Chains A and B, each alone.
Chain A
């Protein structure tokens, strides 16, 4: 697996660097928000730029990631499954991070930023509840209030996480509009931010939203890719994997993972849910403050995503992913619910790891592709296992 053609230098130099001044990744991104929110977005951008350049902020964040979130997370070779599939599969274990998913990486960064800005309250949307739980956790840790917006359909599906958020002292606000899932929770969080911008900080859960969020969230998640790059170097004689695979809802665990490998020869693969596959079935649109690929009808009304994984039930994709797709640097594929459920079971029984339904999308594609031209025998594959499956037990009990 070394006959991959080298990437053009231009791509390597510019891929996954800063967006343009207007927050664009190619034609995507931007800041499509009501005038009321423009000063707030500009303030977040200014605060992030100064914090990210401040060694003390970076030290504080690194320390929280280590002593609170438990980083670095392990890189686990999957011995039995690899043998079955005829590939060499390494798992980046974000399920072992505190609160059970990669969401904590981003949230600790943003919560520290909110405190640096003098804000007293975090607002967040959540789908599976993982970002909500992470936000509630960071709020408790840093002495902030937290209000979490969650579609009422997701509240039914993810009751365990709803209880966790409340335990942590957060207020959970059900959202009854539209499809009553993640997209509606995002819209509602934006609406609420307008009314309380002075005190509240909007803690966006993925690489989406108005500039600077897609860029900032990717930077806070790049710890996944940076750690994995170092860990993989000691596991593999080739130094870098041939394939880097992650699931994509908004795309934050994928963006953070890709950021660590974009300057290598690794093929980057994002796996969406079939019912929320914005790259395969979406068109260019503007939603939640950014331009990207979005599921929508001929009229431009936003489509409803459908997935067994609440965290992938999102009709759009982060703007940087749309750009990586256009440039060909990353490829986006999709899998269906049945493949995902089979993948959860297979990983549990071969490796003793119970992965989240979201994360299992990445694995489902690997299982399907292994041994084909898409993922040849013997390939070295790094997969980000974005979260653990405890939250999905009741959903799985219904289908298994």
Chain B
């Protein structure tokens, strides 16, 4: 399923929950739960030993998954058997991508039905090879923009990103925050002015209130650590689904329709 087309067709604020692949034996049940709660896409973390942009919660989830013997191949094999009707994007680090080759990696994603890829340690200047490999295999390479990104670079990121643009809400790493960062609204607004591609705010979006607040400026949100804390604490897929559904409801009540439509 083409990621961007599908996001545009959603006609509501985008809710993109994250799960670390292999974090529990039944981890794919969380994918189903997310879909039932009204996710518009799902981000699947492919765990890496040295996750540079991740805070303690996602680090712990990655360590747990790796200790369980999780590999990229195993995650993709499990994903390829699913049919949950929601587009999937993989999030990982470049060492795993280049281990075989960017081309082989993207082909494996495409074959498993994963249509998007997010690699936070590949900035614009290092992206060319991966962009080409993603394009050749029909995978949308989602680029990240940060509060520190200067205007000319924002425009280039907006032009080269596929699927959506991942707007990093805060100068920092993944992890729950008490409040939405001041930097979030400004970055999303600048990106919206630069592109008509979906702009999604992520990192630090921890509550339904944050999601609503962020969606005043952006087309939607990624929620990661807040969900992974629950998963690590033993919340069942049904419990996680019920919490995520409250975020869905809050977004839908506040916003009658998407800005993208």
Known A-B contacts A31-B123, A32-B121, A35-B157; A287 and B50 likewise in contact (beta carbons under 8 Å): yes
Which residues 142-195 of B sit at the A interface, judged by CB distance below 8 A? 143-150, 153, 157, 168, 171-173
Q: Is the CB of B149 within 8 A of A299?
A: no
Interface size class of B (residues with CB under 8 A): 35 or more
What string of 1s and 0s marks CB contacts (under 8 Å) between B68-109 and chain A? 000110000000000000000000011110110000000000
Interface size on A, residues (CB 8 A): 35
Q: Does B66 contact A (CB under 8 A)?
A: yes
Contact of A36 among B72, B98, B99, B148 (CB under 8 A): B148
A178 touches B171 (CB 8 A): no
- Quick one: which of B102-144 are within 8 Å of A by CB? 120-126, 143-144
- Stretch of A68-76, A183-191, A378-386 contacting B (4+ beta carbons < 8 Å): A183-191
The residues of A that contact B6 with a CB separation of less than 8 Å are none
Q: Assess the B157–A33 pair: CB atoms within 8 A.
A: no
Query: Considering the chains assembled together, what is the distance between the CA atoms of A43 and B132 in angstroms?
Result: 29
CB-contact partner of A31 in B49, B50, B125, under 8 A: B125
Which chain A residue shows the least CB distance to B54? A191
A302 within 8 Å of B (CB atoms): yes
From known contacts A32-B94, A286-B94, A286-B95, infer whether A301 and B146 are also in contact, taking CB-CB under 8 Å: no
Question: Which residues of chain B come closer than 8 Å to A33, judged between CB atoms?
Answer: 52, 121, 123
Chain B positions 19-74 with a Cβ under 8 Å from a chain A Cβ = 48-56, 59, 63, 66, 71-72
CA distance A195 to B55 in the complex (A): 11
- Given the known A-B contacts A34-B144, A35-B157, A39-B148, are A287 and B95 also in contact in the complex, defined by CB atoms under 8 Å? yes
A194–B144 alpha-carbon span in the complex (Å): 14
Q: Which of B53, B95, B124, B145 lies at the interface centre, i.e. has the most chain A CB atoms within 10 A of its CB?
A: B95
The reply to whether A30 and B173 form a contact with Cβ atoms under 8 Å apart is no
Cβ–Cβ contact B99 & A299, under 8 A: yes
Residues from chain B with Cβ under 8 Å of A288 in the complex: 50, 52
Interface of A is mostly: mixed
| Closest B residue by C-beta to A179 | B49
Question: Which residues 271-301 of A sit at the B interface, judged by CB distance below 8 A?
Answer: 284-289, 294, 296, 298-301
The smallest beta-carbon distance between A263 and chain B, in angstroms, is 30
- Among A32, A195, A287, A296, point to the contact of B126 (Cβ < 8 A): A32
**In this assembly, does A40 line the interface, its C-beta being within 8 Å of a C-beta of chain B?**
yes
Choose one: A38, A40, A187, A299; the contact of B52 (CB below 8 Å).
Answer: A187
A191 to B120, alpha carbons, bound, how many Å?
Answer: 12
Q: Does A345 contact B (CB under 8 A)?
A: no
Is the Cβ of A36 less than 8 Å from the Cβ of B95? Answer: no
Neighbour of B120 across the interface among A34, A178, A187, CB < 8 A: A34
CB distance from A176 to the nearest CB of B (A): 9
A191-B55 in contact given A296-B95, A301-B49 (Cβ < 8 Å): yes
Q: Specify which of B49, B145, B147 is in contact with A178 (CB 8 Å cutoff).
A: B49
Nearest-Cβ distance from residue B145 to partner chain A, whole angstroms: 6
Find chain B residues with CB under 8 A from A177 CB: 56, 59, 63
Q: Which of A36, A289, A294, A301 contacts B66 (CB 8 A)?
A: A301
A183 CA to B48 CA in the complex, in Å? 14
> Shortest Cβ distance from A283 into chain B, in angstroms?
8
- Picked from A34, A40, A195, A296, the residue with its CB within 8 Å of the CB of B99 is A296
Given contacts A32-B94, A286-B98, A287-B95, are A39 and B149 in contact (CB under 8 A)? yes
> What 0/1 pattern do residues 100 to 112 of A give for CB contact below 8 A with B?
0000000000000
CB distance from B52 to the nearest CB of A (A): 5
> Smallest CB-CB separation from B153: which chain A residue?
A38
Known: A286-B95, A287-B95, A300-B99. A36 touches B171 (CB 8 A): yes
* Any B CB within 8 A of the CB of A81: no
Nearest-Cβ distance from residue A120 to partner chain B, whole angstroms: 17
Chain A residue, CB-CB nearest to B51: A187
Q: How far is the CB of B103 from chain A (nearest CB, A)?
A: 15
Q: Pick from A35, A184, A285, A300: contact of B144, CB below 8 A.
A: A35
A31 surroundings in chain B (CB, below 8 A): 123, 125-126
How far is the CB of B64 from the nearest CB of chain A, in Å? 12
**Residues from chain A with Cβ under 8 Å of B144 in the complex:** 34-35
Residues of B near A195 (CB, < 8 A) are 171-173
Q: Tell me how far the C-beta of B125 lies from the nearest C-beta in chain A, rounded to whole angstroms.
A: 6
Q: Are B121 and A289 in contact (CB under 8 A)?
A: yes
Question: Chain B residues with Cβ under 8 A from A13's Cβ?
Answer: none
For residue A174, give the distance in angstroms from its CB to the closest CB of chain B.
13
| Distance between Cα atoms of A287 and B99 in the complex (Å) | 12
Most buried by B among A33, A35, A195, A286: A35
Q: Which interface residue of A30, A190, A191, A197 has the most chain B CB atoms within 10 A?
A: A191
CA distance A163 to B125 in the complex (A): 41
8 A Cβ contacts from A1-57 to B: 22, 30-40
User: A197 is contacted by which of B56, B122, B150, B171 (Cβ under 8 Å)?
Assistant: B171
- Report the Cα distance A286→B95, complex, angstroms: 5
In Å, the complex CA distance between A34 and B125 comes to 11
A298 to B100 alpha-carbon distance, docked (Å): 9
Please provide the 5 A-B residue pairs with the shortest distance between their CB atoms, ordered closest to farther. Answer: A300-B99, A36-B146, A195-B172, A301-B49, A300-B96
A–B Cβ pairs within 8 angstroms, 5 of them: A32-B126, A38-B149, A191-B53, A191-B55, A194-B173
Taking A191-B54, A286-B93 as known contacts, 10 extra A-B pairs with beta carbons closer than 8 A to each other, sorted by chain A number, are: A34-B123, A36-B146, A177-B56, A178-B50, A197-B148, A286-B94, A287-B95, A300-B48, A300-B95, A300-B99
Q: Which residues of A contact B (CB under 8 A)?
A: 22, 30-40, 177-178, 183-184, 187, 190-191, 194-195, 197, 284-289, 294, 296, 298-302
